[in-house]
Structures are given as structure tokens and as C-alpha cells.
Amino acid sequence: MWLYAAAVLVGLYLLWRWHRERQTVPRLSEKYVLITGCDSGFGNLLARQLDARGLRVLAACLTETGAARLRAATSPRLQTVLLDVTSSQSIAAAAAWVRECVGDRGLWGLVNNAGTAIPTAPNEWLTKDDFVKVLDINLLGLIEVTLSVLPLVRQARGRVVNVASVMGRLASFGGGYCISKFGVEAFSDTLRREMRPFGVRVSIVEPGGFRTGMMDPATVVKGFRHIWDRLPAETQAAYGHHYLETYAKSTVLLHRLSSSRLSHVTSVIQHALLARFPRSRYAAGWDARLVFLPLSYCPAWLTDATISLFLPVPARRTPESP
């Protein structure tokens, strides 16, 4: 008897949740959404999808070529602006342009999507500048863009959607990428609490492995070899050339195993922007939901042991202390 009652309650809860999450905000054609990183990948696809739904998309691209291609594939409603998120001057100019576009309506949505993962390599192989290159785009640029248009979002009682990564929950390789995504998670969490009294909703999207072009295997492997060539001879001897080759092959294999269905990510971004009751976090991709997120809740020894199975062994491995 109690089992049947519990099953009915669970069913009613799931039905209520399904109905609640299907409700969307009204008057989409009046809403402006700014998206960064629209030259390719998630940003490009999202801009085209939102434009098809009638929203007024403000697409920020790094290059004029990317902007021209996007304009050619969309309606006249979509407008583009050149934006380098590492440049305060570029961000200020883009923010002024957005302010002029939206007028008194404010900015309904900001999607911080621009990002990079290169250079990436074992931490000891990298310099401070290597970390800074990634952090400037993925974290500091995201923060500055957000702060520059946040009054407009607050005016519209709108949404901020930050594209982080499941690697912001579980760091599995060296370099600035995972560090930056942990930072995006922290910034988003604090911003969500601060903006809630103003009616602004902040969501985090945590994709797994997707082929966005951000980590082209040929480019990554070339970067590995360039970083390897500048290492001191002692460091090269400690790791061994086999470590380099295995690390590079693992990166290529991970790229092949990654999903090409970018719509898995853009669909949850759309929900965060357009649902009446958006979630605070969205996981995208089966690897994120079934592997990395569960693993992030495991004890450190288990997480370390699992990830270490996929890491190469250095030539001069030091035996563990008893």
C-alpha cells in the first residue's frame, strides 16, 4: 500500500516538474539576447536557433569573417558586433553598442560562451603566461563582459547564462582551462545570489566533451610539441618522450569520443534563457551526467585512481612513500 502511494507521489511530482519546466516567458520577439563567441561552436548555433525563434540576437564575434558568415545565415533581426573579451576597450565599446540597441527595454539575456582551452599540457610544462592566456578569455573576460552589461540585464529582470564545463567540477588535465571553469562556477554562484532580489536569474551550463573546434587535435598536438621543445633537458628526461606521445594520443582519442551534437548544449541554454523557471545548473552530454559529475562526488582517492588510469606514466616515476 505504502509502495503504491509513494509511486503515485513520485509520478505526480515528475508530472508537475515536467509541466513547470515547459512554461516559457512571453513576448520573445521583444527580447534582446547578447551572445559571446559566435564565430563557431555553441555560440554560432545558439545565435541561429534564437534568431529562428524570433528573438533579437546580438551576436558578438571575434572576427569580421565569422560575423559576416553568421549574418548571411540568419534574418535581418540578428545584429553582430566585434568583441575581444581580453580587451577592456573592446568590451566597453561593445557594451555601449548593446546599450544603444536595447534602449529602454534592457537586455533580457547574456550568454557568456566565448572560451579557449589552449594551451593545455601537464602543469609543470607550462609558464604563468600560458595560464594567463586562458584565464583572460574564459574567466576575466567573462567577468568584465558581465559587469559591463549587468545594469541592462537588471533593468529587464533578465537572465545571465555562463557556459562553464563539467571540468569546473572535476579537473582532469593541466593548464588554465579547468582552473578557469572552476572560477566561472564560483563567480556564477555568488552572482546568482546577489541578483535574485532584482529578479535576475543566473544559470550555469556544464557541457561534457563536444567537438566545437576549440580543441582541434592537430592544433593541440602541435602545441604539445612546441611546449615540449622549450622544456629543460632535466624535465624532458623526467617525463620521457613516451609521455609526450601518449598524452598527445589520448587527446586525439578524447576528441574522437566527443559528441558532435552541439544542440544538446544549445537546447539547455535556450531553456535557461526562455523558461519561466530556469534551473541554476544544467549538465549537457552523457559523459557529464553519467561519468564526470558522479565521479566528482566520490572520495578523492577514488577520483584520483580513476583519472590516473588514463594518464601516461613518467619515465622517472618516484616510488610512493610507505
Cell numbers representing residue 322 in the block: 610507505
What are the two backbone dihedrals, phi and then psi, of residue 72, each rounded to the nearest 5 degrees?
A: -70, -20
Residue 5 forms part of a structural domain: no
CATH number, domain with residue 45:
3.40.50.720
Whether a cis peptide bond, with omega within 30° of 0, leads into 119 is yes
Residue 163 and residue 110 in contact, taking contact as beta carbons nearer than 8 Å: no
- How much is the pLDDT for 317? 63
Residue 312 lies in a domain: no
Amino acid making up residue 160: V
Q: Give 126's contacts (C-beta < 8 A, 6+ positions apart).
A: 119, 174, 175, 227
Domain assignment of residue 254, yes or no: no
Asked if residue 269 belongs to a domain, the reply is: yes
Structure confidence at residue 319 (pLDDT): 56
Residue 281 sits in which domain range? 26-212+260-294
pLDDT of residue 321: 42
User: Based on the number of CB atoms within 10 Å of its own CB, is 57 exposed (0-12), middle (13-18) or buried (19 or more)?
Assistant: buried
Q: For residue 106, is it within any domain?
A: yes
Active site residues per annotation = 177
C-alpha cell read off for 13 = 511530482
Burial (CB < 10 A; 0-12, 13-18, 19+), residue 85, is buried
User: Does residue 78 lie in a domain region?
Assistant: yes
Position 308 in a domain: no
Amino acid at site 261: R
Residue 55's pLDDT is what?
95
| pTM, full prediction | 0.89
pLDDT (tens, 9 = 90+) of the chain, 322 residues, equals: 777 777 667 776 677 676 676 777 888 889 999 999 999 999 999 999 999 999 999 999 999 999 999 999 999 999 999 999 999 999 999 999 999 999 999 999 999 999 998 888 899 999 999 999 999 999 999 999 999 999 999 999 999 999 999 999 999 889 999 999 999 999 999 999 999 999 999 999 999 888 777 767 777 778 888 898 999 999 999 998 888 888 877 777 777 777 788 999 999 999 999 999 999 999 998 889 999 999 999 999 999 999 988 888 887 666 554 4
Residue 144 lies in a domain: yes
Domain tally, the chain: 1
